[in-house]
């Protein structure tokens, strides 16, 4: 049985996140401290400095030789179940694009920024270690696969990338469009050239013609995007250092550790504050941008379908007790911001993902508390 003291610990862990988000919202919406251009600079700081150090710090302190492979396998099974369920539903609701969006909503969550402090309050340090392992796998496996799915869809339906002469923004930076700050994750000119010939048709018109998709140029495009994403190579470097450090029992010099920690400590605050200042909150006219029906569907996928698929996968892999509870609760964490960034770039249901990030983050506290209380009784 969950005691009121435990509930308070969870609320106390989540409250600072909402405080930072609220400050970001108010600083733009009410107090007008920042212009759209300045919001873009805040977002760039969070994406290119704070979060990479944050990701590296967590990854570097996780022992790769004591990872819980059963939990990771259960997570993979749950994602496979989510793909199957979403694919069956998408046959009647929009094909491949619906599968990609449905998978994003059901399977990809905000593991570190929200998950780490929340699960620390719920279950302690061992839970943080597990959520970091899941976060590393999500960043190094599932996000690249999501990018690959987007690129394959573009190739299949014949979407041509922008010409090389188009303006190119830095990866996951912000552009000001119609007075709003728009996060973008753009191709370099060379990547655009590489991706331009991914689709071949058998007639001159290209309409309704069979398509032959060349996989290698698509893989190169995905690889270039990942190489330009600072959070990806921060995770790779963190895992690489952890492999060396835990194998030979090495430690970083104090001056290096202190430098990393002072930057890493800004990761959560900057991420939540930036979410409040940019498109997700202060510069979007409606919190529910996609309409009530699609918003409800997105919330059902995020807070119901995802945890149910995870529960099935976790039970099938033999997880029990608090580890099973953690697996279910982490599946109900708010939507990953990266999924919105990708959806915005590829022009696929960005309003649905935007709503999932905004509204899902706002309602996540009572939902996660409900899961925590209910699982504490079982």
List, for residues 132-158, the tens digit of each pLDDT value: 999 999 988 999 999 999 988 888 877
Residue 82 CA from chain centroid, whole number: 16
Highest mean pLDDT among 41-45, 200-204, 296-300: 296-300
* Tokens describing residue 64: 């790769």
Highest mean pLDDT among 29-43, 139-153, 213-227: 139-153
pTM for the full predicted model: 0.81
Domains of the chain: 4-159+213-377 (1.20.1530.20)
Query: 98: which residues sit within 8 A by CB, 6+ positions away?
Result: 86, 89, 90
Query: 148: which residues sit within 8 A by CB, 6+ positions away?
Result: 218, 219, 222
- Quote the pLDDT of residue 199: 38
Q: What is the arithmetic mean of pLDDT over 175-194?
A: 39
* Tokens describing residue 65: 């030789």
């Amino acid at each position: 049985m969950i005691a009121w003291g435990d509930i308070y610990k969870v609320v106390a862990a989540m409250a600072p996140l909402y405080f930072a988000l609220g400050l970001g919202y108010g600083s733009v919406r009410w107090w007008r401290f920042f212009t759209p251009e300045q919001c873009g600079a805040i977002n760039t700081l969070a994406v290119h400095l704070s979060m990479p150090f944050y990701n590296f710090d967590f990854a570097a302190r996780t022992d790769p030789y004591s990872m819980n492979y059963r939990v990771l396998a259960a997570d993979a099974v749950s994602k496979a179940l989510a793909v199957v369920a979403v694919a069956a539903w998408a046959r009647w609701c929009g094909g491949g694009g619906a599968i990609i969006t449905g998978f994003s909503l059901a399977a990809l969550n905000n593991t570190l920024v929200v998950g780490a402090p929340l699960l620390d309050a719920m279950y302690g340090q061992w839970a943080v270690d597990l959520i970091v392992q899941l976060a590393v796998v999500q960043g190094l496996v599932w996000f690249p696969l999501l990018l690959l799915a987007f690129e394959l869809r573009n190739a299949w339906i014949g979407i041509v990338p922008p010409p090389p002469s188009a303006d190119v923004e830095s990866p996951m930076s912000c552009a000001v469009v119609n007075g709003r700050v728009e996060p973008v994750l753009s191709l370099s000119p060379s990547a655009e050239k590489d991706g331009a010939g991914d689709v071949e048709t058998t007639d001159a018109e290209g309409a309704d013609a069979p398509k032959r998709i060349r996989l290698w140029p698509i893989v190169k495009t995905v690889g270039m995007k990942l190489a330009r994403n600072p959070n990806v190579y921060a995770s790779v470097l963190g895992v690489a250092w952890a492999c060396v450090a835990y194998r030979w029992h090495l430690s970083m010099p104090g001056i290096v550790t202190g430098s990393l920690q002072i930057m890493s400590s800004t990761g959560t605050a900057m991420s939540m504050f930036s979410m409040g200042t940019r498109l997700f909150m202060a510069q979007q006219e409606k919190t529910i941008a996609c309409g009530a029906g699609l918003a409800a569907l997105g919330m059902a996928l995020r807070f119901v379908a995802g945890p149910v698929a995870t529960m099935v996968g976790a039970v099938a892999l033999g997880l029990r007790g608090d580890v099973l509870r953690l697996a279910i609760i982490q599946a109900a964490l708010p939507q990953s911001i990266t999924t919105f960034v990708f959806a915005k770039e590829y022009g696929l249901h960005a309003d649905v993902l935007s709503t999932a990030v905004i509204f899902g983050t706002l309602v996540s506290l009572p939902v996660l508390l409900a899961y925590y209380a209910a699982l504490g009784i079982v």
